[in-house]
Structure 1
Amino acid sequence: MASKAPPSIFSPQRRAASRRRMLELQRRRDDAARYIIDDMVEDVPERLSFLRFEPASALIIGDYSGELARTLRTSMVEVTEREPGFGFEEEEPFPFEGFDLIASLGTLDTVNDLPGALVHMRKALAPGGLMIASFVASGSLPVLREVMLAADGDRPAPRVHPSIDVRSGAQLLQRALFADPVADHRTITVGFRSLDRLVEDLREQGLGNVLADPSPALGKAAFSRARHAFAAAGASGRTVESFQILTLTGWKR
């Protein structure tokens, strides 16, 4: 019996376009937001140090800052970098294998077949290799979710991505047959002076809506309601929003 295809929650075309727009914004703007990727990049060497793991080769997926590759290369690690916005398919078997380390940063929250992507990463590892995958997870953007509901009124529309939590992440690692699977999360909190600034930050970090069935854009009246609701959720002219970063780690034995 043929395996059931995963649901098409996200549009691969919109996902790639969003990432390409992010890359262009990061290139053109010196002050473009990048605190999400910075946090994920900083986390990887810390984990490697804690585990006392020194890879000789690494595949890095999604780090548009390039910082993790630079850090690893200072330790003489042979690094391969790939970007989903330019044709790298995480939901297909990887065209290479034998890596000691695979680090996926900020991309797995918008794949339709997350279990399949994890399996492909495990298969691309060398025996004894380590996978570290970080992405935005369940519980993120609680204020924005409430604001969008308020803006839509009696006819709410899907505008914020569904996401997974720590428990689901741990189960997915086990399902993908990783050894010693670990799922943990941390919170990043950021203050915003306006809803417009939050929206810009999301675009600059490739976190915009890439749903396969996107809702119509908010009209002027609805967006005005959203702005007022966002401001009302804050204090002293600043509204605090939070991002939950889920990190999955596992080994290939």
Structure 2
Amino acid sequence: MQQTAMLRTGYRLLTRPLRTPTTNHAARLLYSTAPPPPPAGSKTIPATFQVFNRETKRLQKERAASNTEQSRQVDYVKDEVAFRVVDRLLDIKREFKEVVELGSGCGHIAKHVDTDMMKKLIMCDMSETMLNRDKDVEYEVPVERRIVDEENLPFPENSLECVVSSLSMHWINDLPGAMIQIQRSLKPDGVFIAGLFGGDTLFELRTSLQLAELDREGGISPRISPMADSRDLGSLLSRAGFTLTTVDVDEVTVNYPSAIELMEDLRAMGESNAVINRRGLLKRDTMMAAAAIYKEMYGNPDGTVPATFQILYMIGWKPSPTQNKPLERGTAKHSLKDRLEDEGSASTPKSE
């Protein structure tokens, strides 16, 4: 047992995603979104039906954080994505007095920020145990912890300079409504930066579980929670009232000894399935079949199996009269066509 635990720890340390994306571990796509006009008469978006059981998700996070040692061993994905969210925050040459983090967990973003970026970080999470897991850890930036549900924000309108979130918003039922609340709570020219799991996350596990259930149980059920699509986020940001919006995508791949260890780590992260109409526990026979299918379809030559985490990043600003705005159509003083033709003629070698 001790040897197995050491092997699993070694796999995690050796295969955790690098901060600098590489060809094998990350691919980045960029979408620049032009905001369409908001819905006529109101910013309110019709309420959506409930997909996730928020109380179940809170209890999953509570149980995960109650085992402090095991919980810390599986921080690798959340720490990495938090680093990349902070990297995007660094692109904003501004010092914030306070930054609010939604779905902070134990403090993944707090590990990567300093006093040159902000004077205070307000960590908000619906799980009290997860929020206080590392309460004895000292960070460079002073932190304040608050128990907050991301679906019901307590912040007054026009009160915040910056809101960030890392790997939390994919569990929100009403994502458009949450974005509207965030936009309203920001001051003019305030910024919102978030990273969340995308629809292609764990596609290998999803496919393997579906095939195994179909073979062993004669049907399939939602074992992997549905995630957002990158093509939808830009329009959601714009409908919520954000401007200067940007969405980009990372794919982080982590190798595991088998699908069993992957599912165990997801449970220890508090990232288990929380869909309302999910089935009960996965049968052992089905689980072993899924692990065999996973290895057969996606296994690496060294015997490990890859797990893909698709991360969607979004940035949006609250409108302000002081923001830069694009010039009106037809006001350009130079033609791009003429410029390209000039460069083309300059690069063409002259015949002797």
Is TM > 0.5 for Structure 1 vs Structure 2? yes
SS of equivalent residue, structure 2 residue 150:
coil
* Residue equivalent to 2:309: 243
Question: Which amino acid counterpart does residue 111 of structure 1 have in structure 2?
Answer: I
* Residue equivalent to 1:44: 85
CA distance in 2, matches of 1:20, 1:194: 26
* Residue equivalent to 2:271: 207
The answer on whether the counterparts of 2:61 and 2:270 sit within 8 Å (CA) in structure 1 is yes
SS of equivalent residue, structure 1 residue 115:
helix
* Residue equivalent to 1:79: 121
1:234 maps onto 2:299 in alignment? yes
* Residue equivalent to 1:7: 49
SS of equivalent residue, structure 2 residue 73:
coil
Comparing 210-219 and 39-48, the one that deviates more? 39-48
SS of equivalent residue, structure 1 residue 144:
helix
* Residue equivalent to 1:92: 152
Q: Deviation digits for residues 202-233 of structure 1, max 9, x if unmatched? A: 11222110011111322222122112112223
Structure 1: gaps spanning 5 or more residues: none
The answer on whether the counterparts of 1:60 and 1:69 sit within 8 Å (CA) in structure 2 is no
* Residue equivalent to 2:280: 216
Give the drift of 1:99: 1.7
CA distance in 2, matches of 1:31, 1:166: 29
Identity across aligned pairs (percent)?
A: 26
The answer on whether the counterparts of 1:62 and 1:105 sit within 8 Å (CA) in structure 2 is yes
Give the drift of 1:49: 2.4
CA distance in 1, matches of 2:120, 2:308: 35
Give the drift of 1:3: 7.2
CA distance in 2, matches of 1:246, 1:178: 17
Comparing 29-38 and 157-166, the one that deviates more? 29-38
TM-score between the two structures when normalised by the length of structure 2: 0.67
1:29 maps onto 2:79 in alignment? no
* Residue equivalent to 1:19: 61
CA distance in 2, matches of 1:126, 1:21: 36
Give the drift of 1:43: 1.6
CA distance in 1, matches of 2:284, 2:316: 47
Question: Which amino acid counterpart does residue 179 of structure 1 have in structure 2?
Answer: T
The answer on whether the counterparts of 1:186 and 1:246 sit within 8 Å (CA) in structure 2 is yes
The answer on whether the counterparts of 1:37 and 1:65 sit within 8 Å (CA) in structure 2 is no
Q: Deviation digits for residues 174-212 of structure 1, max 9, x if unmatched? A: 111111111111011011111111012211222110011
Give the drift of 1:96: 4.3
For 1:119-198, list aligned pairs within 5 A: 119-153=180-214, 154-198=218-262
CA distance in 1, matches of 2:299, 2:174: 37
CA distance in 2, matches of 1:186, 1:93: 28
Question: Which amino acid counterpart does residue 86 of structure 2 have in structure 1?
Answer: P
SS of equivalent residue, structure 1 residue 38:
helix
SS of equivalent residue, structure 2 residue 235:
helix
Comparing 33-42 and 99-108, the one that deviates more? 33-42
CA distance in 2, matches of 1:163, 1:135: 9
CA distance in 2, matches of 1:66, 1:58: 13
Q: How many pairs align?
A: 251
Cα 1:67/1:218, change in 2 over 3 Å: closer
CA distance in 1, matches of 2:79, 2:187: 27
TM-score between the two structures when normalised by the length of structure 1: 0.91
